[in-house]
């Protein structure tokens, strides 16, 4: 108890996202009203509206009506990538994780225009804290993180999505041989990701000889940036406004791809 008899406040939790305005435009509101019940998953919440109840879980076969490879995009934004992927690959299931409600509504609008695929669902929760609760181990065939906030100021680096707590949460969810794809237009963040991801024994570079995307960028390329190990641009990634903005500013786009190393015999989930 504090001197005034009140219980101390719990430490403020570090998250990688900022909750922006939730107000929807007329068009997005109509898409939300028509399709959110069908496509937006709504598990029981925990202590915050971005957290699931600790006892919650997903039955993927029940959600999608089948068993299929699962692609998860964390920070799906306005839905360009995940909506296009669902339409292009009906044989796979897709899960878009995004806390920004207008982004989810825009994704629903895209799905409506693309013909309302049944192989996609949207999850409006904090990925780091919800996916390990809701998904079984080794259930993800592809994990995508494209253009997450680089938090360029040093004092904000702890808020970057790609940090040890996130990796500890999601890497057990990757199936043996699964692909983890990332992209950023900030060289400093690319360097940060390489240092962390290259050090994980669960991962190996998918393109160990892959060259850098270039040598000249409008932002400073850190000393020690690896010359190789970079992935070619993933053909399945739609060129979003975030990528276009970075390129127009003269920044390079750094693509990464890792493969989940198979678990040792006897350690795979049952």
Active centre residues (catalytic): 149
Decide: residue 144, CB within 10 A, 0-12 exposed, 13-18 middle, 19+ buried.
buried
Give the whole-angstrom CA distance, residue 205 versus residue 199: 11
Report whether 243 belongs to an annotated binding site: yes
Report whether 149 belongs to an annotated binding site: yes
Report whether 241 belongs to an annotated binding site: yes
User: Could you give the maximum distance between any two Cα atoms of the chain, in Å?
Assistant: 62
Strand partners, 97: 74, 123
Report whether 240 belongs to an annotated binding site: yes
By C-alpha distance, which of 181, 188, 196 is closest to 235? Answer: 181
Give the whole-angstrom CA distance, residue 131 versus residue 52: 9
Three-state SS for 148?
coil
Report whether 198 belongs to an annotated binding site: no
- Please report, in range form, the residues annotated as the binding site for substrate: 153, 185, 240-243
Binding residues: 73, 98, 126, 149, 153, 185, 240-243
The binding site for S-adenosyl-L-methionine consists of 73, 98, 126, 149
């Amino acid at each position: 108890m504090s001197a005034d008899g009140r219980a101390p406040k719990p430490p403020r939790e570090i998250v990688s996202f900022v909750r922006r305005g939730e107000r929807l435009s007329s068009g997005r509101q109509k898409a939300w009203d028509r399709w959110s019940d069908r496509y937006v998953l709504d598990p029981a919440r925990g202590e915050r509206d971005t957290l699931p109840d600790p006892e919650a879980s997903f039955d993927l076969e029940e959600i999608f009506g089948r068993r299929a490879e699962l692609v998860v995009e964390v920070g799906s934004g306005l839905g360009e990538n995940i909506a296009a992927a669902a339409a292009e690959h009906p044989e796979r299931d897709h899960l878009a994780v995004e806390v920004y409600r207008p982004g989810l509504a825009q994704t629903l609008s895209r799905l409506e225009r693309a013909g309302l695929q049944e192989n996609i669902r949207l999850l409006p929760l904090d990925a780091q804290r919800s996916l390990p609760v809701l998904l079984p181990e080794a259930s993800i065939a592809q994990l995508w993180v494209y253009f997450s906030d680089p938090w360029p100021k040093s004092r904000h680096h702890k808020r970057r999505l790609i940090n040890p707590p996130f990796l500890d949460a999601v890497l057990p969810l990757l199936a043996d041989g699964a692909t983890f794809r990332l992209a950023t237009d900030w060289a400093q963040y690319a360097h940060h990701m390489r240092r962390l991801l290259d050090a994980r024994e669960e991962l190996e570079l998918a393109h160990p000889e892959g060259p850098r995307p270039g040598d000249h960028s409008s932002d400073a390329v850190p000393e020690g940036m690896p010359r190789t190990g970079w992935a070619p641009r993933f053909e399945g990634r739609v060129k979003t406004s975030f990528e276009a903005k970075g390129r127009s500013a003269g920044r390079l786009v750094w693509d990464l791809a890792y493969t989940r190393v198979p678990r040792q015999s006897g350690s795979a989930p049952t």
